[in-house]
Amino acid sequence: MPVRMRFAFYGEAQIDRTLERFELGAQDASPAWEKMAESFLRAERRQFKSEGAYASGGWAPLSPRYAAWKATHYPGKPILRRTDDLWRSLTTGPAIRYISAHQMILGSDVEYGKYHQRGGPNLPRRRPIELPESLRREWVKILQRFLATGRV
């Protein structure tokens, strides 16, 4: 039976890969998940620091009206960091973190994160979580190496 690795944020799959020739069986993959969780935090820090340029090509600029309001009320705060709740939930924890033998769940408990991830009629899409292809390949390699050798 193949092993499936799937990573989704608010229902949107970022990784959905099937690894043929491997069977997780009773093996505890938590060391591999732990390594992936560490790289997730690094990726999120880069995504926020670059205002989306790391993986999303850059987040849409704020509207002139909102940018002026934000500069007055939250001077110096970059995009998606007005209160730092979303940033903190994805870069210092993450807020949702569950690792077991057979799965890893990472995410944010900040309700409005999904609106930025998806965008909407009056809100440009600014994806706080966007895993670049290089990170997706890295995660597949981590899991493949672990399944083949038992080491991360």
Tens digits of per-residue pLDDT, 21-65? 666 555 788 999 999 999 999 999 999 999 999 998 999 999 999
Using CA atoms of 46, 47, 49, 54 in order, give the dihedral in degrees to the nearest 10: 80
pLDDT for residue 11: 78
Is it the case that residue 79 has pLDDT exceeding 80? yes
pLDDT for residue 23: 61
What is the pTM for the complete model shown? 0.88
3-state class (DSSP) for residue 120: strand
Per-chain mean pLDDT for the chain:
90
